[in-house]
Amino acid sequence: MLENHSGNLLSGEGSPHLQQHAENPVHWHPWNEEAFELAEKEDKPVFLSIGYASCHWCHRMERESFSDEHIAQLLNSHFVSIKVDREERPDLDFYFNSICRLFIKKTGSPLTIIMTPHKMPFFASTYLPKEPILGQIGLVNLLPKIIGHWKNERETLINTASTIMDQLGELSKALPEGDISQSIFKKTFKLLEGNYDKEYGGFSLPPKYYFPQHFWFLLRYYFITKEKNALSMTVKTLTHIRWGGVFDHIEQGFHKLSTDARWKIPYFEKMLYDQALLIYSYAQAYQMTKKLFFKDVCYEIGQFLDSTLSDQTGAYYTAVDAESEGREGKYYIWNYEELERVIDPKDMDIINFFFNASREGNLNDEDQKDSRMNLLFQCQDDEAAARDLGLPLSVFQKTLAQILDLLRKERQKRPKPFIDKKILMDWNSLVLGALSYSGRVFNDRSFVKKAEKLSEFLTNFMVSEDGYLIHRLINGEQAVSAFLSDYAFFIWAHIELFNASLNVKYLATAYKYLNQALELFNDDAFGGFYYARARNASEIMRQKEYADGFVPSGNSFMLSNLIYFYYFTANKKYKKMADRLIQQTSGLIEERPMEYTSLISSLFSYHGYHQQIIFTGDINSELAQNMINHINQYFTPQYVFIPKNPETIKIAPFLDNYPNTDKPVFYICREFACLEPVDSVEKLEALLSTNKPVG
């Protein structure tokens, strides 16, 4: 018989976000069937709150409402309350955000859902204040209204919930199918061009997100078409992002997003996925342009990962909190008197001019009683600043480094923001892929060694006893079966690590888990891949995610993985699955291309803009290594490197058609049709320097 639980039940949960609510007077439950059974038994609606540990607005709602005795009394008496960590259960976050979008046309964190005991939502919103403000209803008013409707007008609530569930069901049905022609590339470029901020870069009005997948598309589009604006938009946006206050100029790393057009004032949390995706983006920009500025940014992010988010065993933590001492951004901002106390008076011109500090302050901070606060951001590069200040560049850069070191030491005396020490498979896989790619592009073994160490961690500690990937690890405890994005990013990352290390064991790992993912997530009826395994999805309607969000969709990376292994193995099974995924998403992509730029980037290879580089001979010879380093100098986003050896022949039998050679020989191919083999750096460079796909 079901017990009537009372009290807050979060103290035993591993999630840092749930732990942050474990002392609330609200009688929180973790997400489980027992909570819904209790709601049904007591005939109460369910109040669901979804957030994450580094979120400022989640903290505000916790302080304002969930720590309030009156709000707690309303929730405890009339609702069953459930708390969810969106990073631990991204499937629930995706599902209920889809519902929230149907209610109010937007999504976000924290997410507030009120539903029946049978998981049928009849109210959805994001952050809600305790008291009404600026026309937004407060919980103090909302909850009594819901209580009254549940008692007296329940049929109306049920009808609302039924309508929403019907709409969600329609979205989940089979999509209109079709092929996607190459015209989608120009269409996507024109939309990005039309939304481009010509002054500061980026592709939206504030708030401005990074959306790194836009850069990946634009660089590929430039590679194929030589459309100069595709490259210039990427270069300018990446430059202004690094100059802005969204970058921590003192301790490195990027904050979450910009609240303004010029990338000046961020949401202050630092997310692991942003660091990974931006390393990957800046490395590609460097590979295309050879601008050392972009390479330097990759090393800056790497330094932040090692100093702040590394768990010292190879993996990386999830995030740094937006708040310290209960205020968003407090750790990162300065009043002018602090700057004057720390910095030599003769160097204050650099702080004033280069970093835009002033006695009046350069930001408006609603949480600070003293609004005269400064956040460091720059508006020009070192060369221009040194020239304008009348300093030799070397003197300017040396002085700047000294200033930043002084500020770093001073800032580290402050109470530090909380670090969410969850280890997530999907976000760590993004880091793994980014480090591997950067190591290959920069010919830097230190990046590759970090990637190899991370791969070892993930395969040793985040695989279940029955051989499946795990989504979350904290304090050594595995939890939550992996989702599509975990598998898709993990597979991609090991392809990149294989390309960087040329160790076939990483290719074998990618191949193994690709086939496992096909078993777990493939929609046999219509194509494409579900977000969650069937046993995860028993709780809610099983859905697919195709559009990109803060991170690219799992389906977009699965498309890339399928195309890669088709070209590596010549196994048409992978091509057919890619065909079905593309056909299912064609209507969505044609209607809203900017939401699918990661998936569209994979279409370049699908439509033949790729290179197969087949290799025979001793891969460890000096000549082979020199030739591979030459390949890595060029922007080759769609290349598939296929060395012939006993291990690769097992999955790519067609390699037996290529004669064994003592001397390194490279075949540059497309669709398994090859040009004449080359056996020298000069011949290889002559082919690659055209910077065009074969054919």
Structure confidence by residue, pLDDT tens digits, 283-315: 999 999 999 999 999 999 999 999 999 998 999
Two tokens, residue 394 = 């070397």
Range with the poorest average pLDDT among 12-16, 447-451, 632-636, 651-655: 632-636
Tell me which residue of 399, 392, 383 sits closest to 351, measured CA to CA: 399
Distance CA 29, CA 161 (A): 22
The mean of the pLDDT values for the chain is 93
Q: How many CB atoms lie within 10 A of CB 453?
A: 16
Task: Give the neighbor-by-neighbor strand order of the sheet with 639-643.
Answer: 639-643, 611-616, 665-670, 673-674
Residue 30 reports pLDDT greater than 80 = yes
Structure confidence by residue, pLDDT tens digits, 492-504: 999 999 999 999 9
Task: Give the mean pLDDT of 662-683.
Answer: 90
The beta strand positions in 220-281, using DSSP E, are 257-258, 266-267, 270-271
Structure confidence by residue, pLDDT tens digits, 505-537: 999 999 999 999 999 999 999 999 999 998 755
* pLDDT bucket at 409, cuts 50 / 70 / 90: very high
Question: Are the beta carbons of 54 and 109 closer than 8 angstroms?
Answer: no
* pLDDT bucket at 611, cuts 50 / 70 / 90: confident
The DSSP secondary-structure symbol of 432 reads H
Q: Using DSSP, how many helices (H) and how many strands (E) does the chain show?
A: 26, 21
Structure confidence by residue, pLDDT tens digits, 114-136: 999 999 999 999 999 999 998 89
Question: Are the beta carbons of 288 and 228 closer than 8 angstroms?
Answer: no
How are beta strands 319-320 and 121-125 bridged, if at all? unpaired
Residue 541 reports pLDDT greater than 50 = yes
Structure confidence by residue, pLDDT tens digits, 170-226: 887 766 778 888 999 999 999 999 999 999 999 999 999 999 999 999 999 999 999
Residue for token digits 């990109």? 548
Distance CA 608, CA 589 (A): 19
How are beta strands 470-474 and 423-424 bridged, if at all? antiparallel
Helix or strand holding residue 235 (H, E): helix 228-243
In sequence order, what DSSP letters do the residues of 105-144 get, joined into one string? S---SSEEEEE-TTS-EEEEES---SS-BTTBPPHHHHHH
Q: What pLDDT is stored for residue 177 in this prediction?
A: 78
In one-letter notation, the amino acid at residue 36 is F
Q: What pLDDT is stored for residue 621 in this prediction?
A: 92
